[in-house]
Each structure stands twice: as structure tokens, then as C-alpha cells.
């Protein structure tokens, strides 16, 4: 059994196909997934999907590319939604210096505020970090997130930086990027991260792993991520699947008995 710790089954690319996508995922052993909502509409869709499918859970928050629209009204609505039973983490939050939809200071202010909200609700955080490694680390360290922990989602850095985030109490989650031939730093990190802090994900419909690179990604393809990490570590795929399955349940506080 495999747990996709970060996917966007709520994306427009899957509209009307959600049930078929879940079925295909189950056929590849991916029986649970966390669907990430990052603005008003995608949050609503994630919450809808977690009611429709037993193996679907929700991660909700305000994406850094949406930082400029984070208001007191948004926060009040999020606070209500965070209390719903199948919401397991707060995210994806963080910094995005690639698209720069909002100035760095706006992104940082919203990032820090959302960490505070996550702490108030006792939820782990899922971190979006793009071209902003040093600032992301600085903020997570300043805010002392160890008590809630969280995930460096779709990690694309090297092992040295991974260790620094691990020291802050974070988990490291790998996506299809780990299967790319030139992603040597990411592969080194995937081989070296302690097993008890390792997670797998797709970030579907983006970042499809080999052999589907360039096509629409699906939650089921988490299997290929686990398979690649197993190869890198000299382990059986089933063993990586089991360990990351247990890690996700522990971090998200989901009973292992939940179907």
C-alpha cells in the first residue's frame, strides 16, 4: 500500500475523471492520498473529494502565489475548514520566487501568519519552496516548527539542505523528479534521508515520473517514485511503500486502521 502525500486530484485536468483516477491508483497500490487545496475553489473541491472517497484526505492552505489575496476573511474561513475531520495538514504554504506574483515581504508575512495558524490547530505544514531555499529555511527556523513538523513537498534540493530541514523537524517528500536522469542531487537526497522521515508523492497532474514524463501525472504514479527510491537505496519497493505509508499516517495522525 502506498500513500501519495501530495496530489491535486482537485485540478481541472481531472474534472469528471476523479473516480477513474482513484481506481487506477488503487490498481497500482496507491490506496490513500492527500489532496491539496491552495485557494478558495481548490480547497472546496478537496473537501468535496474527501467525502466522496474513503482514501482521500485534505491538506488546505493558501499558496504563496496567492499571498496577495490572503485576508482576514480568508483566514477565518480556513480556520473553520481546518477543524473538519479529514483535514490532515496545512498547506501548501511557503515561498515562490520563480513566479513572484507578490513581493517577497508579502509572501513572508503570509507564510509566517499561516505557520501561526497551523500551530494553533496542531497541524503539520506542507511547504512549497521554489527558488527560495535560504529564506524558507530561515523562516521555518525562526518560527520553530518542530512541535508541528511538516513536509518539504516535492523536494528538489541536495542532501545537505535536506539535512538542515530535517534538523528543524521536517519530513522530506519526493515526487517524480527523483526519477529524472539529470536529477542527481535529488537522487542523492532520496538515498540519504532517514527512512523515518521519508515520504512519497506525485504533485499530480504535474511532474510525471519516468516512464510518463511529459504526460499528465496521476496519483497512481506514486508507485514509480517509490520504485525509484527503492532502487537508489537497495531496497524492495514494497519496503519503501510500507515505511512511507506508516510515516504518512503518523505525521497526519491518521489511524492505521482507517480504510
pTM: 0.97
pLDDT, tens digit (0-9, with 9 covering 90-100), for 107-124: 999 999 999 999 999 999
pLDDT digits (tens, 9 = 90+) for 143-200: 999 999 999 999 999 999 999 999 999 999 999 999 999 999 999 999 999 999 999 9
Give the residue extent of every domain in the chain. Answer: 2-252
What interhelical angle do 133-143 and 159-167 show, nearest 10? 20
Which CATH fold topology does 2-252 show?
TIM Barrel (3.20.20)
* DSSP letter (8 states) at residue 156: -
- Cα–Cα distance between 247 and 253 in angstroms, integer? 10
Helix (H) / strand (E) element for 181: namely none
Q: Is the pLDDT of residue 53 over 90?
A: yes
Amino acid at each position: 500500500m502506498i500513500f501519495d502525500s501530495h496530489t491535486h486530484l482537485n485540478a481541472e485536468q481531472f474534472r469528471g475523471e476523479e473516480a477513474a483516477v482513484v481506481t487506477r491508483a488503487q490498481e497500482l497500490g496507491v490506496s490513500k492520498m492527500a489532496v491539496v487545496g491552495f485557494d478558495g475553489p481548490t480547497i472546496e473541491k478537496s473537501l468535496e473529494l474527501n467525502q466522496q472517497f474513503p482514501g482521500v484526505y485534505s491538506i488546505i492552505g493558501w499558496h504563496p502565489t496567492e499571498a496577495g489575496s490572503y485576508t482576514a476573511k480568508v483566514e477565518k474561513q480556513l480556520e473553520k475548514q481546518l477543524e473538519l475531520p479529514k483535514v490532515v495538514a496545512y498547506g501548501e504554504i511557503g515561498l515562490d520566487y520563480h513566479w513572484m506574483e507578490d513581493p517577497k515581504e508579502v509572501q513572508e508575512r503570509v507564510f509566517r501568519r499561516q505557520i501561526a495558524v497551523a500551530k494553533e490547530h496542531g497541524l503539520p505544514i506542507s511547504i512549497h519552496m521554489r527558488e527560495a531555499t535560504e529564506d524558507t529555511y530561515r523562516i521555518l527556523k525562526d518560527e520553530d516548527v518542530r512541535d508541528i513538523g511538516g513536509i518539504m513537498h516535492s523536494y528538489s534540493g541536495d542532501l545537505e539542505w535536506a539535512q538542515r530541514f530535517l534538523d528543524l523537524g521536517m519530513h522530506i517528500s519526493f515526487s517524480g523528479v527523483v526519477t529524472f536522469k539529470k536529477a542527481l542531487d535529488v537522487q542523492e537526497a532520496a538515498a540519504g534521508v532517514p527512512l523515518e522521515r521519508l515520504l512519497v508523492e506525485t504533485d499530480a497532474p504535474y511532474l510525471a515520473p519516468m516512464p510518463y514524463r511529459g504526460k499528465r501525472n496521476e496519483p497512481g504514479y506514486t508507485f514509480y517514485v517509490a520504485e525509484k527510491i527503492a532502487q537508489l537505496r537497495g531496497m524492495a519497493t514494497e519496503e519503501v511503500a510500507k515505511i512511507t505509508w506508516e510515516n504518512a499516517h503518523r505525521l497526519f495522525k491518521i489511524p492505521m486502521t482507517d480504510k
